[in-house]
Amino acid sequence: MTFDILTLFPGMFDGPLTESILKRAAESGLITVRCHNIRDYATDKHRTADDAPYGGGTGMIMKVEPLSGCIQAVKADRPRAKVILTSPRGNCFTQRIARELAQEPGLIIICGRYEGVDERVGSLYVDQEISLGDFVLTGGELAAMVIVDAVSRFLPGVLGGAGAAQTDSFSDGLLEYPQYTRPPEFKGLTVPEPLLSGNHAEIARWRRRESLLKTRQMRPELLTSAEMTDKERLWLAKTQRQEEGG
């Protein structure tokens, strides 16, 4: 997959996307990340990419002309790529959205900046707005990095093992079960016995139940839409009553 990132600060991407798993994915040809400097498409000698908002107010707004030129140039090369704008008002980014985006032929990610982007950019070019959550970043570059990382994990071959991303937290609506490695005992804390049993069915059962318990403890709101059987819901309710002394 090719990720085309439209930004005012392309240098920000030199480190995070050129290390570790993403570096190996790029070297293997599984992903391509191309950064495009929006200022290169500005129409004046000062390469102006922002201006004061109509109607007054604080801050600056990213201009429509440079963004339009940049988007059209990239689209000419990748007409089927989906255009994403990083924005605080966008849909909250989730594992489900990352999985869906991994099915696209390519992504064009616009990094928002300042007080926002001229609304006409969204009207003319943007397919989807995405936010990392209910907070504001200095710019959309960090959000773009997160999107590239999360989406890449679903691309075949990036993580090595087939379906490796399918066991991550949130893949089935639940948090992941606790993980352990050597040594079997550390400062009085031991690895749970089922994980040492060698019984794969018992290990799978323990992991599933621990995933349910961990989700109830840390993110109980996820249980309302998580993928669970009726038997699991009854078991979870029973354990909660026992813990409450009921």
88 is catalytic: yes
Question: Which pLDDT band, with edges at 50, 70 and 90, does 59 fall under?
Answer: very high
Residues near 56 by beta carbon (within 8 Å), at least 6 away in sequence: none
- State residue 211 phi and psi, 5-degree precision: -65, -40
pLDDT tens-digit map of 77-90: 999 999 999 999 99
Q: How much is the pLDDT for 79?
A: 97
The CATH number of residue 89's host domain is 3.40.1280.10
Question: Within 92-229, where are the H helices?
Answer: 95-101, 119-124, 141-152, 193-196, 200-218
Q: How far is CA 150 from CA 27, 70, 121, 171, 222, in A?
A: 18, 25, 25, 12, 20
Predicted TM-score (pTM) of this structure: 0.89
Q: How much is the pLDDT for 168?
A: 65
Q: How much is the pLDDT for 164?
A: 56
- What is the 8-class DSSP label of residue 136? -
Q: Which two tokens stand for residue 225?
A: 């839409």
Q: How much is the pLDDT for 173?
A: 86
Q: How much is the pLDDT for 166?
A: 58
- What is the 8-class DSSP label of residue 165? G
Contact 105, 29 (CB under 8 A): no
- pLDDT (mean) for 60-86: 97
Domain range for 204 is: 185-243
Residue 202 lies in a domain: yes
Q: How many CA atoms lie within 13 A of 186 on its CB side?
A: 7
The CATH number of residue 216's host domain is 1.10.1270.20
- pLDDT (mean) for 179-193: 96
Residues 92 and 135 in one domain: yes
Residue 162 lies in a domain: no
Contact 39, 47 (CB under 8 A): yes
47 is catalytic: no
16 is catalytic: no
Catalytic choice (65, 149, 168, 176): 168
Q: How much is the pLDDT for 245?
A: 82
Catalytic choice (153, 207, 210, 216): 153
pLDDT tens-digit map of 146-181: 999 999 999 999 997 645 565 566 768 899 999 999
Residues 113 and 223 in one domain: no
Catalytic choice (51, 65, 100, 115): 115
Q: How much is the pLDDT for 141?
A: 98
Q: How far is CA 227 from CA 93, 94, 162, 203, in A?
A: 19, 16, 21, 19
Total domain count, the chain: 2
- pLDDT (mean) for 85-106: 96
Question: Within the chain, where are the H helices?
Answer: 20-27, 64-77, 95-101, 119-124, 141-152, 193-196, 200-218, 230-243
14 is catalytic: no
CB atoms within 10 A of CB 206: 18
Residue 119 lies in a domain: yes
Residue 216 lies in a domain: yes
Between β-strands 2-7 and 106-110, what pairing exists: parallel, antiparallel or unpaired? parallel
Residues 39 and 116 in one domain: yes
pLDDT tens-digit map of 103-128: 999 999 999 999 999 999 999 999 99
Question: Which pLDDT band, with edges at 50, 70 and 90, does 139 fall under?
Answer: very high
Residue 180 lies in a domain: no
Residue 83 lies in a domain: yes
Cβ burial, residue 170 (10 Å; 0-12/13-18/19+): middle
Residue 174 lies in a domain: no
Q: Is the pLDDT of residue 100 over 90?
A: yes
Catalytic choice (53, 88, 192, 194): 88
